[in-house]
Amino acid sequence: MRVRGIVPATIAGLPFRQGAAFLSLFFLPTVAQATLLTVLPLGALRLLGTAQAVTLLYAGAGLVAVLGRLSIPALVRLIGRRSVFTLGAAALATGSALFAADRVPAFAVGIVLNAFAFACVEITSQLYLLDYAPRQALRHFEPTRIFSSAAPWTFGPWLGVYLQEKLAFVAPFAVAAVAAILLVVLLRALPLGDGTAVAAMQKPTTNPLRYLPRFFSQPRLVLAWTLAATRSSWWSMFFIYAPILAVTSGLGAETGGIVASIGTGWTWLVPIWGWAGRRFGLRRLLQIGYAAAGVLSIAAALTFGVPWLGAALLIMASFGAGTIDGAGNLLFLRAVHPYERSEMTTVFASFREVTQVGPPAVCAALLAFFNLPSVFVAAGAVMLASSALCGRIPRRL
């Protein structure tokens, strides 16, 4: 019963407790991911010795992770959504333990488990959100979700390196493991079932070949996936090669963490970009963001001989990329049909793992013939092409 004159507390249009629960499901994995963000590529560089070897490791791990992600709908049908979420948390904890072993084979397996863990948690959390949140609330929840992750993304990349160098080698991995445990505790405390999406999944359509063509036959979903993939490709480049650039140019590992932290710290401005998208149009916002990131990435490559200037330009490029994040996955959420959310969500979210295979493969080829700045040139060119592609976004968005 609602008392007249009293407005119930809400978070992004959802009841307060429900909104807080969903934000927590997205917040805890972000803590783990951000803490490991700079630690992992620097650890790979230490173990393997060259940027090209690091690139090949990430490409191979990403290929395996794609196959794992595409198996998630079948796992949801087989063992249930809650069990898949728990499996993801367990994979995160196991991967963290393997990273702590500091051996190449264990590190490689840890990279795969890490990607699979975040895929399980992300997909199941996204399905819970689609089932329990009204469609009109999604446009408000997505910027709020991204803003809630601003603190981890701002401090995590630097904090992981700092903890490892100043406290203990295993410290960042312990943080990720604790986050995994808290995720399981949180899930057990929430009244979330398998939801309507799972109920609609009882038909035997577990073969990815059956829903991949369906996804890519829908132009709006293809556009959303492509723009998300290019955005993710740029951030993947930034997270891997900005710290490597800092170390190889003499700026140091902690400086690399600081660059990554400042770059991701622009997340605090997400509410502004969400407002700008609603006020001036999502298409215009994305066109400007992609173009800015592209131009500044190429400029950073041209100043390779002056490391501090290149680092500063990469930070400015991340500002442009941050404006893109303000839209989050809104293009997809507005385009997907309710009756095929599970399959389509799985395919859409695969852009993360696909961008761990394609871009590293391209970067490995570039690094075989050119030096490190070629990676930033390629990333900048892709972002400029994406800016042009944004012209296909419907004006009503």
Q: What would the pLDDT profile of 203-252 be if each residue is shown by its tens digit?
A: 444 455 567 788 888 888 888 888 888 988 898 889 888 888 888 888 88
Choice between 318 and 69, residue whose per-residue pLDDT is larger: 318
DSSP string, 338-384: GGGHHHHHHHHHTHHHHTTTHHHHHHHHHHHHS-THHHHHHHHHHHH
Give pairs for 72-78: CB < 8 Å, separation 24+: 72/119, 72/120, 72/123, 72/346, 73/201, 73/205, 73/206, 73/208, 73/211, 73/342, 73/343, 73/346, 74/206, 75/120, 76/124, 76/127, 76/194, 76/198, 76/201, 76/342, 77/198, 77/201, 77/202, 77/206
The token duo for 339 is: 């009756």
Q: What angle do CA 108, 186, 153 make, to 5 degrees?
A: 55
Q: Residue 138's pLDDT is what?
A: 63
Listed residue (363, 127, 352, 82) closest to 245, CA to CA: 363
Q: Residue 89's pLDDT is what?
A: 94
Instruction: Give yes or no for residue 122 having a pLDDT over 60.
Output: yes
CA 77 – CA 199 distance, rounded (Å): 9
Instruction: Give pTM, 2 decimals.
Output: 0.74
Partners of residue 15 on adjacent β-strands = 10
Q: How much is the mean pLDDT over the chain?
A: 81
What are the tens digits of pLDDT across the range 96-116?
999 999 999 999 999 989 989
User: Best-predicted range by mean pLDDT among 6-15, 158-167, 206-215?
Assistant: 158-167
CA 68 – CA 115 distance, rounded (Å): 9
All structural domains of the chain, each given as residue ranges with its CATH number in brackets, are 10-392 (1.20.1250.20)
Q: Residue 193's pLDDT is what?
A: 57
Q: Residue 142's pLDDT is what?
A: 67
CA 20 – CA 38 distance, rounded (Å): 28
Distance (Å) of CA 221 to CA 133, 230, 332, 337: 20, 14, 6, 10
CA 73 – CA 210 distance, rounded (Å): 12
Q: Residue 393's pLDDT is what?
A: 78
| Confidence tier at 197 by pLDDT (50, 70, 90) | very low
Listed residue (298, 285, 286, 272) closest to 382, CA to CA: 298
Question: Hey, CA dihedral for 96, 100, 104, 105, is it positive or negative?
Answer: negative
The token duo for 273 is: 């970009």
CB burial of 266-279 (b: ≥16 within 10 Å; e: otherwise) equals bbebbeebbebbee
Residue 348, Cβ neighbours under 10 Å: how many? 24
Listed residue (210, 322, 220) closest to 265, CA to CA: 322
| Confidence tier at 11 by pLDDT (50, 70, 90) | low
Instruction: Give yes or no for residue 3 having a pLDDT over 50.
Output: no
Mean pLDDT of 307-320: 90
Q: What is the dihedral of CA 290, 296, 299, 304, to 10 degrees?
A: -110
Q: Residue 206's pLDDT is what?
A: 43
Partners of residue 10 on adjacent β-strands = 15
Find tokens 């871009």 and name the residue: 359
Q: Which residues contact 41 (CB under 8 A, 6 or more apart)?
A: 54, 58, 239, 240, 241, 243, 244
Q: Residue 252's pLDDT is what?
A: 84
